[in-house]
Amino acid sequence: MTRARIGADGGFDGVFAVSGDIDYFRQFYRGIRETSGNVLALVRTDGAFLVREPMQSADVPRLSESSSLMHAIRAAPAGHFRSRGEVDQRDSLYGYARVDEYPVYVACGLSMQGVERQWRRSLTLYSVVTLLAIAMLLVAAVLARRNAQRAQRPHEEREEELQLHELAEEGLRRGQRLEAIGRMTAASRTTSTTCCRYSR
């Protein structure tokens, strides 16, 4: 990267130049690339690859003006889109951003195949966790119901005992009434028989 140095009089006074080892960027990108389907790149505004990991094929040194990434770069300094890659022809989800004020963009492409595989893996994991949670809730509900039934049983037994006790008392009272009526009837018979004897 170079920039002109302007002197105090406004004239050209030299050049600032900064360079970086491309192999450093390749190794860095290789280290952070999660799967073989992902792509990381530094691209100039003219479409030339400064770095691409994995390495681009020799016959495609730059992107064409009609490529999706070039369209996106012309539209906004940063963004994301889904497209088929011009170099590897893979359906991918791309994100890109301009590097400060330099005419360079960093871009990352995630293979949709890898994204869908990760999504399925996450969905499976969430499904297992959800099913385990549902199973635990069902077990807790069954245990709570059993405990409630156990707690209810002594109460029902007490109610039943009280009802039996009340029935027994009622039976006893009826028996006592019947016995009293029987005595009264017997006493009245004895009295009437005695009266009849004296009257004769």
When mean pLDDT is compared across 5-14, 84-93, 165-174, the lowest value belongs to: 84-93
pLDDT at 57 over 70: no
Please, what are the domains in the chain?
2-114 (3.30.450.20)
Contacts of 102 (CB under 8 A, 6+ apart): 1
Give the pLDDT of residue 53.
Answer: 75
Give the pLDDT of residue 130.
Answer: 92
Q: In one letter, which amino acid is 101?
A: E
Give the pLDDT of residue 156.
Answer: 76
| pLDDT one-digit tens code per residue, 20-49 | 776 767 676 666 665 666 777 888 888 888
**Could you give the CA distance from residue 60 to residue 43 in angstroms, rounded to a whole number?**
13
Task: Tell me the average pLDDT of the chain.
Answer: 79
pLDDT at 59 over 80: no
Tokens 């004897």 found at: 197
When mean pLDDT is compared across 23-32, 61-70, 122-131, the lowest value belongs to: 23-32
**Could you give the CA distance from residue 68 to residue 94 in angstroms, rounded to a whole number?**
10
